[in-house]
A = this chain, B = another copy of it.
Amino acid sequence: MTLSITDFPAPTQGDDCRMVREILDLVGDKWTLYIIATLKDGPVRFNELRRRIDGISQRMLTINLRGLERDGLVKRTLFPTIPPRVDYELTEVGRTLLAPVMALVRWASSNLENIRDARVRYDAS
């Protein structure tokens, strides 16, 4: 999922789908959702994020944080001490994203078991 909205040519599907796709491009990658969730309670330092998000590499954490900062969803604060310290926290906009994600959480809770069962049935036949 590495698409920009410009990858979608002539509109026949209405604007809704393209907007949602742009949001999915924001949160649909492997790590962004974990980062947002980990920042929900307030500022967290870089290596603390790294520790809390199991399996993420330094490289991917940096890349995703830069993207979120660029989109205005995360605020980066540098304390020019030695050694340096950097805090990351959700912006107001970033926090509002939690609500629609919650809707997906609820849907997932209700339907994930059915989907897994459906897969087993399908693969068996």
Q: Show the binding face of A for B, using Cβ within 8 Å.
A: 1-14, 16-17, 19-24, 26-30, 33-34, 37-38, 40, 51-55, 69-73, 93, 96-112, 114-115, 117-119, 122-123
Copies in the complex: 2
Q: A20-B101, A23-B104 are in contact. Are A72 and B33 (CB under 8 A)?
A: no
Residues of B within 8 A of A103 (CB): 99-100, 103-104
How near does chain B come to A105, taking the closest CB pair, in angstroms? 5
Interchain CB contact under 8 A, B5 and A40: yes
Q: Which residue of B lies closest to A6 (CB)?
A: B40
How near does chain B come to A5, taking the closest CB pair, in angstroms? 5
9 contacts between A and B (CB under 8 A): A1-B29, A10-B52, A22-B108, A23-B104, A24-B28, A70-B123, A71-B118, A72-B122, A100-B103
Residues of B within 8 A of A9 (CB): 54-55
